Structure 1
């Protein structure tokens, strides 16, 4: 297959609604349902908790506005990998891609699937031995769907995104109109001596907002990406910001702060059962299951594109196989199979939650570099028209950079050993890069 033919087989068939659903769907997974207690515990009061969710969304929105300008000028498959490659060269581009496909992407898929397996076992009252098989079965089925034409994965993403909005809307409406607690004025005396603070609370929300950039991995398959990609990222992040803030307000307006602290991750289930009875709790579980399935679909749809983009440049072992596209579905079948297999192994033998946590540090290091890229592009392309311009420049990208630096510093302070291990994982890619580079030119 010639190089030109390989390029043309990735058709630009995804429109605005598919792109928007990917942004919303890959962000809203389980975080908004299970992070309420941890954010409140760190913030110390309901008012501070609401501000944490809001400011976390604002920081994410500034990041989205910044990347929208960068991505509109680089509408290529690979997202962050492609940006780093063009902004800083092949070496840093490779390391950003390596980090995402070696651990970050498969670990996120594995962690979401593993937790989904726990929910499915509880929902159907099965033995816990079925957790891992169910988790693997789900990602295999979703992976199979994404081996068909990308329209199928995009359609499934739209359906699951609409489905996950139902429990969110129910929580917001019931909390707003039937709650009688002071959502702004409750202090959490139980944890008044906690080491948590407002900064830690914002950090927890930023993790819940993460994933919005993954739609950029499909830049080569989006129709008119110069216009659609910025609109999808900005509107998608804005919708998530509003949803997260209103859901948090609804829960805090309905349940006393001290009760939320003691309930922990069961807060949202308690809310549903109190509001709608036992059947409400089960319906909410269905909503969360749909939410997580949609989140998995978005990630399984996007991460193989990084593998494909790197393999096309012959930067990975077995690049010829990983760059294969099916002649009828135009999908990277081998790359998708690799991600599925890798995630399945993590479910069976590792703690994927820990692995994904380790990579947060490195992801945000590359985020900072991508945000700085907006200044580099404006300097390089003086006088040239831009498909999209970030509003309130340079304030917006500076807020995004400061927010990412906040995450990096917080991670160093709270988990230095994890930071060093994550850097080691990235460093393993260095000899791979130079081996492939030497092999390419010899």
Structure 2
């Protein structure tokens, strides 16, 4: 039997970049205006840093394939773990659908050929099921795809930032940078974009679910998170600055993407640079989906084995033990979403699907931070290869900051805070979709086996 391939340190760092860094999300955030710089820096300090530290401790202490589900279940029991695993899983097929609907437009941009509704649906379905097929195989078999996607993402972000600076130097700064323009207005529009910035910072726990593919997870996980996090923070700021100085804020919207930003900078919708960027962008979508599917499927499968997700999710390949049940469910749900998309009236499909995926995704993260505090209390004797230093007060603040940020961003993304027709049309579908999936999650979590928490296990022994 051949020896299973293992992640090297550089592979682990590139995996973090591939998972966490979402190159195409820099442009929508720029729609905030110059206050994006304030939000990037603030959220790096009060969200990215504590989230990275907490994920490093939990991921190296409880390094099984259950990831965030396992952390939450150990702290708060089976039902809360079931909720977390459901929210975490359902976001993925919704996200896959949101990217699938972008694919035909990118092909039209590259080739110049108009694509009808049926061919577009076939392209979207092909994208979805290629991802499903690749996720039938171990992550180590796909490491070249993940590494390649990470390198392409960094290149595109540097291109975006460098091109923006060049445009600003040769044609003038599009948005004058002043102290007053950098300070946030705290209006509904700008606050609704905070969740998009958060999305750009999530995913550290995915690398924890792949510890079995690493040479030395207790060392590789924290180093990869710290180094990868620093690289990602720097690249985000550089690309955000390039977009901000080159493109007027009024020309950018939530549906704008990386390629749209390059078109606006070059003013050549069919230029060679735009087409090459579009091809590279499509390649990064495969890297995004493959890296996330491997982590999400592992969590869903692990939860199903504990009775906290439907039984279909625990089906595995007899050949390599990959969670094929979860992968197939990804494909089925994403396919249903793209098939009903054409009958949804007057909606920005990418933003509608993406925002709904974002809401479910953020919900799964809320219990991680109190779980960190509770596991310190009820399970202090388990060795922690990486342990966050600080007093009890510091640790409470460290956990509270990202949790509060998530709750606030959820309110501004999923709750209609004004009742004009434009707001209701944009927000109500997200609200209704989130409520439906929460109800389904509640039904699932009440079917579980009711396993006891680690605290109850400790009391029993």
Alpha-carbon distance in 2 for matches of 1:206, 1:263:
17
Residue 432, structure 1, aligned to residue 434, structure 2:
no
* Counterparts in 2 of 1:398 and 1:309: CA distance versus 1, 3 Å: same
Residue 70, structure 1, aligned to residue 58, structure 2:
yes
Question: Relative to structure 2, which stretch is displaced further, 243-252 or 112-121?
Answer: 112-121
| 1:111 counterpart (91, 98, 106) | 98
Per-residue Cα deviation, 1:335-361 (whole angstroms, up to 9, x for no partner) = 322222222222212467535523544
* Counterparts in 2 of 1:96 and 1:127: CA distance versus 1, 3 Å: same
| 1:341-356 superposed matches below 5 A | 341-350=332-341, 353-356=351-354
Q: Which runs of 5+ in 2 are unaligned?
A: 342-348, 418-426, 451-461
8 Å contact kept, 1:153–1:301: no
Per-residue Cα deviation, 1:399-425 (whole angstroms, up to 9, x for no partner) = 222322322343446457845652442
Name 1:232's counterpart in structure 2: 224
* Counterparts in 2 of 1:27 and 1:223: CA distance versus 1, 3 Å: same
| 1:193-272 superposed matches below 5 A | 195-196=187-188, 198-257=190-249, 267-271=260-264
| Runs of 4+ in structure 1 over 6 Å off | none
Name 1:61's counterpart in structure 2: 49
Name 1:138's counterpart in structure 2: 127
Alpha-carbon distance in 2 for matches of 1:299, 1:257:
31
Q: Which runs of 5+ in 1 are unaligned?
A: 1-10, 41-45
8 Å contact kept, 1:52–1:201: no
Name 1:91's counterpart in structure 2: 79
| TM-score (ref. length: structure 2) | 0.78
Per-residue Cα deviation, 1:147-188 (whole angstroms, up to 9, x for no partner) = 234322222111111122222222223334563345662699
Alpha-carbon distance in 2 for matches of 1:346, 1:242:
35
Question: Relative to structure 2, which stretch is displaced further, 332-341 or 105-114?
Answer: 332-341
8 Å contact kept, 1:147–1:336: yes
* Counterparts in 2 of 1:37 and 1:433: CA distance versus 1, 3 Å: closer
Query: Could you say what the CA RMSD is over the residues aligned between the two structures, in angstroms?
Result: 3.5
Question: What is the DSSP-based 3-state SS (H/G/I as helix, E as strand, rest coil) of the residue aligned with 2:449?
Answer: helix
Name 1:284's counterpart in structure 2: 277
8 Å contact kept, 1:322–1:332: yes
Q: CA deviation at 1:57?
A: 3.2
Name 1:333's counterpart in structure 2: 324
Alpha-carbon distance in 2 for matches of 1:66, 1:159:
28
8 Å contact kept, 2:26–2:236: no
Question: Relative to structure 2, which stretch is displaced further, 161-170 or 398-407?
Answer: 398-407
Q: CA deviation at 1:89?
A: 0.9
Name 1:3's counterpart in structure 2: none
Per-residue Cα deviation, 1:370-428 (whole angstroms, up to 9, x for no partner) = 11222212222446642112356424333222322322343446457845652442332
8 Å contact kept, 1:325–1:331: yes
Name 2:292's counterpart in structure 1: 299
Question: Relative to structure 2, which stretch is displaced further, 348-357 or 73-82?
Answer: 348-357
8 Å contact kept, 1:361–1:419: no
- Number of residues of Structure 1 aligned to a counterpart in Structure 2: 418
* Counterparts in 2 of 1:52 and 1:380: CA distance versus 1, 3 Å: same
8 Å contact kept, 1:79–1:219: no
Per-residue Cα deviation, 1:307-327 (whole angstroms, up to 9, x for no partner) = 3212322444445x8332332
Q: CA deviation at 1:88?
A: 0.9
Per-residue Cα deviation, 1:39-94 (whole angstroms, up to 9, x for no partner) = 22xxxxx2x22222332333223212222212221101122211111111111111
Alpha-carbon distance in 2 for matches of 1:223, 1:164:
25
* Counterparts in 2 of 1:145 and 1:368: CA distance versus 1, 3 Å: closer
Question: Relative to structure 2, which stretch is displaced further, 159-168 or 377-386?
Answer: 377-386
Q: CA deviation at 1:240?
A: 1.8
8 Å contact kept, 1:346–1:352: no
8 Å contact kept, 1:110–1:343: yes
Name 1:20's counterpart in structure 2: 13
* Counterparts in 2 of 1:225 and 1:288: CA distance versus 1, 3 Å: same
| 1:410 counterpart (409, 412, 423) | 412
| 1:348-387 superposed matches below 5 A | 348-350=339-341, 353-382=351-380, 385-387=383-385
